[in-house]
Amino acid sequence: MELRAAEPTARLHPGDQRAETVAEAFLVRLRQRGVDRLFVNSGTDFAPLVEAYARRHESELDLPDVVVCAHENVAVSMAHGSYLGDGRVQAVMLHTSVGTANAVCAVFNAARSRVPILLTAGRTPLYEHSRLGARDAGIHWAQEMFDQAGMLRELVAWDYELRDGAHVTDVVDRALDVACTEPRGPVYLTLPREVLAGPVPGAEARPAPARPAPPHPDPTAVARLADLLAGARFPVIVTADAGADPDAVALLDELCRRFGIAVVEHGQRHVSLPADHPLHAGYAVDAVLGEADVLCVLDLDVPWIPGNAAPRDDAVVVQCGPDPHFSRYPVRTHRADLSITTTSAALLGALASALDARSVDPARADRLAARVSGWRGRRARVLEAEAVADGPITKAALNAALAQVRPPDAVVVNEYWASAELLASTLPGTWFGTPPAGGLGWGLPAALGLQMARPDATVIAAVGDGAYLFANPAACHHAMAMHGLPVLTIVCTNAHWGAVQGSTLRMYPVGHTATGGGLSPLAQLGPVPDFAAYAEASGGLGLRVDRRAQLGPALEQAMRTVRHERRPALVDVRCV
């Protein structure tokens, strides 16, 4: 399936659909620009929008479908997941300053993942009286901020306030075009209530502007990289996000087969190369850094941890991507002997053409395939070792059990325990990993958005108990019931924050935490709730598993529930 950001349709004028208010013109323009869903968490600032939807029986306006969400993190993360599912830019409407504040963590995830979302929010009414939409509740004074957009200005690519309805379509066009221009990302538009309530100006909207073509790699730089790859003994491409563009997956597959280049999916966030590809070198870059003489970093922010490992001194490191040095990161000093500004698909296509004109050792592909296949043996040994009848449930055991019941085309949204290596996805668009920013609470609502974008897919949210709690689970299960989203949620429940404890032990391997013999109070989550009850309270199936012998049957029952009954299911797995 091709995933593309939505392009404008032929109908370009709100006047063509008899919009009477700026709110109606705003909504019509969203639909005209291909925005089919508006994820909302409503407030008093929504009155003109509420009225616009109520008037549809009379106006017959074509407006985006409303997706009600009971928390702002759920709304923005669902929009994030929907974009991952169908490649179409999404829109969210938040409630003034307080709603924006609740959404900042989710916006952080979208920004670092370069996901285009039009974030809109009301703002406290501008006037105290004498205008339709002026302040009419006590809360309208306390909620106003001097700079509401300042909360997320560092994270968005653009922010603005709609000051007059005369240019509502121009502002929507500008917002969507900036969001979808590489490097993509969220944008933020505030909508005063008085402006939304105003009449539509008489001027017709102009046709939507053409979006800029994506960056194409410099031919001289491509030639230099092709020379390096052609002459290398052990060339490696390392990536986590190249597969965000489905076209790049087939291009990378062909490039590696034809010219003998290994690929590491380090910190995999998308399927960039099928796991069964002979030149797939696994999921840990450290395994190849000692041998790689040309390391091409393809759209990856942290290709190695500088304090733990580094490329060879005599290796050539090439950084490639829409923003190859990740300029929005305050510090990033990874080596770059050559940098190329490009999309993944554009670079891979240009490289294939350039390598066609060069001599490449025909035996290199087979030699590298034998050298990088070791991770497959490790995977097989782990899966075999974990196929035991009973005992405590480890994360490896949970992965092994899921590998047994997961259909090849099922989509995994991972926020904690799912192992890219053990699950070894082969189909593009079937694996989505935690965003680089790591804002907890993303995985479950992102899975809901993906399910909405792909209604026929089997979608699995693999989360830990901390990530599940941060996701506002009651709001997530409410959304599943309201919008008919049969997501399978698997919670690895170990009653602690492993990242907190683990980071402490890495810093202080022989410190008091390490020698104390217990879990730090700062890493404890117990006692954890009965997570299965959340699913049951909203009409889903809820199961709890305490022993390994129960795991397989529980996952099979849950899988049948989501695939055949089309009903949500949750399996609360008590892990060690």
pLDDT in tens, the chain (576 residues): 334 444 444 334 444 568 999 999 999 999 999 999 999 999 999 999 999 999 999 999 999 999 999 999 999 999 999 999 999 999 999 999 999 999 999 999 999 999 999 999 999 999 999 999 999 999 999 999 999 999 999 999 999 999 999 999 999 999 999 999 999 999 999 999 999 999 988 766 678 888 888 899 999 999 999 999 999 999 999 999 999 999 999 999 999 999 999 999 999 999 999 999 999 999 999 999 999 999 999 999 999 999 899 999 999 999 999 999 999 999 999 999 999 999 999 999 999 999 999 999 999 999 999 999 999 999 999 999 997 767 889 999 999 999 999 999 999 999 999 999 999 999 999 999 999 999 999 999 999 999 999 999 999 999 999 999 999 999 999 999 999 999 999 999 998 878 888 888 889 999 988 888 788 888 788 889 999 999 999 999 999 999 999 999 999 999 999 999 999 999 999 999
Distance in angstroms (rounded) separating the CA atoms of residues 189 and 195 = 13
Question: Could you tell me how far CA 554 lies from the centroid of its own chain?
Answer: 28
Which residues have a Cβ under 8 Å from the Cβ of 429 and sit 6 or more positions away?
A: 1, 3, 243, 246, 270, 271, 411
> 58-108: per-residue pLDDT in tens?
999 999 999 999 999 999 999 999 999 999 999 999 999 999 999 999 999
Distance in angstroms (rounded) separating the CA atoms of residues 284 and 327 = 25
Q: How many CA atoms lie within 13 A of 323 on its CB side?
A: 15
Question: What is the reported pTM?
Answer: 0.95
Q: Are 336 and 319 in contact (CB under 8 A)?
A: yes
The whole-chain average pLDDT of the chain stands at 93
> 335-355: per-residue pLDDT in tens?
999 999 999 999 999 999 999
Question: Strand order in 541-545's β-sheet?
Answer: 431-432, 411-415, 459-464, 488-493, 569-574, 541-545
- Rounded alpha-carbon distances, angstroms, from residue 480 to 37, 473, 493, 533, 537: 16, 10, 21, 14, 11
> What residues pair up with 298 in beta bridges, in sequence order?
239, 320
Domains of the chain plus CATH, in order, are: 14-197 (3.40.50.970), 219-372 (3.40.50.1220), 376-574 (3.40.50.970)
Q: Are 79 and 117 in contact (CB under 8 A)?
A: yes
The per-residue pLDDT for 522 is 86
Helix, strand, coil percentages in the chain from 3-state DSSP, rounded to 5: 40, 15, 45
Q: Are 305 and 200 in contact (CB under 8 A)?
A: no
Distance in angstroms (rounded) separating the CA atoms of residues 551 and 401 = 7
> What residues pair up with 237 in beta bridges, in sequence order?
263, 296
